[in-house]
Amino acid sequence: MSVLILADQTEGHFKKTALEALSYGAKLAEQLNTTAEALVLGTVNEDLASLGKYGVKKVHHAANEALNIVDAQVYTKVIAEAVNATGANVVVLSHNNTGRAIAARLSVRLKAALAPAAVSLPDTSDGFVVKKVVFSGKASANVSLNTDIKIISLNQNAFKIAAGEGTAEVVSLNISVEPGKIKVTATDKVTGEIPLTEATRVVSGGRGLKGPENWGILEDLAKALDAATACSRPVADSNWRPHHEHVGQTGIAIAPNLYVAVGISGAIQHLAGVNRSKVIVVINKDAEAPFFKAADYGVVGDIFEVLPKLTEEVKKLKGIV
């Protein structure tokens, strides 16, 4: 019995999603009175023992270079072997772009019930019930995992990273890795920007900004807030902004601590992707805009007047001149 957490790495480093999964898995192990162990695949440039500070006792490391490419088929075989070798009965991984593909395959391979897009620790008072997002954020479902082995793929920004003291024992895992069928011929990483799904603060623009040439004032605010930028669907469809910034029911779903909506009306399809944000600020000149009903703070006014003033005040607070 143990909780095995896939600490996913990108180019040798652990991202926020990995630390969230580790913190969640450690807390879960505590709840189940068992130990949390991490699984690291591929070449890493970080001190693995220090993952102990997130609450894991052991780190199993399969350093095979073939694992630097995340091919879900290859990963699934390796993780399944690690589950068998460690006797884990719960597997935790991040519901990020690559994690969700692995989770689905692993569920079949291990015949293990899967809770995708999970947002809570399980309720174990009667079975093993995990809360997950459904209806694109408009509701949640309590899903009962009815098999001996359980898989939880944890939504991003759903669990707070908890770092304490501690070092983990690092064990190397000797697993033979069959090469996969997928060949990676090019990689294009968005550098410098904060990935939207990982961002704790997001400033998002809608048609109210009138055109791509006006995004400067939005980017200024985002920069002052150390926030990522996002947009509504028509903005991406008109190519004012790149597609990967499109949030909503048919774009990406995000749950940052702060979401600032600038010139976005708040259509139901837009809200579906952002309504799990902890705090929502809406700036819109129309007091009747539906977004105000979903907001915590609102400013009824013209973007071009309000935004520069807001940016100034944020800079003052942060001591940026």
Q: How far is the CB of 214 from ligand FAD (least distance, A)?
A: 9
Q: Which of 52/255 has CB closer to other proteins?
A: 255
CB-based contact 92:30 (threshold 8 Å): no
Among 118, 208, 221, 256, binds ligand FAD (CB under 6 A): 208
CB-based contact 247:275 (threshold 8 Å): no
223 binds other proteins (CB under 8 A): no
Among 171, 210, 309, 320, binds other proteins (CB under 8 A): 309
Residues 6+ apart with CB under 8 A from 128: 122, 144, 145, 146, 150
Binding mask of the shown chain, residues 121 to 160, with x at each position contacting other proteins by CB under 8 A = --------x-xxxxxx-xxxxxxxxxx-------------
CB-based contact 79:52 (threshold 8 Å): no
Among 302, 308, 316, 317, binds ligand FAD (CB under 6 A): 302
Cα separation, 109 vs 98, in Å, equals 17
Site for other proteins in 27-66 (CB under 8 A): none
Q: How far is the CB of 239 from ligand FAD (least distance, A)?
A: 14
281 binds, among other proteins, ligand FAD, none (CB under 5 to 8 A by kind): other proteins
Residues 6+ apart with CB under 8 A from 125: none
Measured CA to CA in angstroms, residue 277 lies from 205, 219, 308 at distances of 16, 20, 23
Cα separation, 294 vs 119, in Å, equals 20
Site for ligand FAD in 175-194 (CB under 6 A): none
Greatest Cα-to-Cα distance within the chain, rounded to the nearest angstrom: 62
221 binds, among other proteins, ligand FAD, none (CB under 5 to 8 A by kind): none
Q: Which of 149/203 has CB closer to ligand FAD?
A: 203
Cα separation, 20 vs 28, in Å, equals 12
Using only the alpha carbons of the chain, give its radius of gyration. Answer: 21
Q: How far is the CB of 166 from other proteins (least distance, A)?
A: 26
Q: Which of 35/311 has CB closer to other proteins?
A: 311
Work out whether the CA dihedral 13, 73, 110, 169 comes out positive or negative: negative
284 binds, among other proteins, ligand FAD, none (CB under 5 to 8 A by kind): ligand FAD
Among 29, 251, 255, 292, binds ligand FAD (CB under 6 A): 251
17 binds other proteins (CB under 8 A): yes
Site for other proteins in 93-122 (CB under 8 A): 95-98, 100-109, 111-117
Among 230, 264, 281, 295, binds ligand FAD (CB under 6 A): 264
The crossing angle, in degrees rounded to 10, of helices 99-109 and 72-86 is 60
Among 2, 23, 35, 76, binds other proteins (CB under 8 A): 76
Identify which of 158, 171, 162 has the alpha carbon closest to the alpha carbon of residue 60: 171
For residue 72, the surrounding DSSP H or E stretch is helix 72-86
229 binds other proteins (CB under 8 A): no
Cα separation, 57 vs 67, in Å, equals 23
Cα separation, 5 vs 92, in Å, equals 5
Site for other proteins in 243-302 (CB under 8 A): 243-244, 246, 249-251, 253, 257-258, 268-269, 272, 275-276, 278-279, 281-282, 292-302
Contacts with ligand FAD by CB under 6 A lie at: 206-208, 232-235, 248-251, 263-265, 267, 269-270, 273, 284-286, 289, 302-304
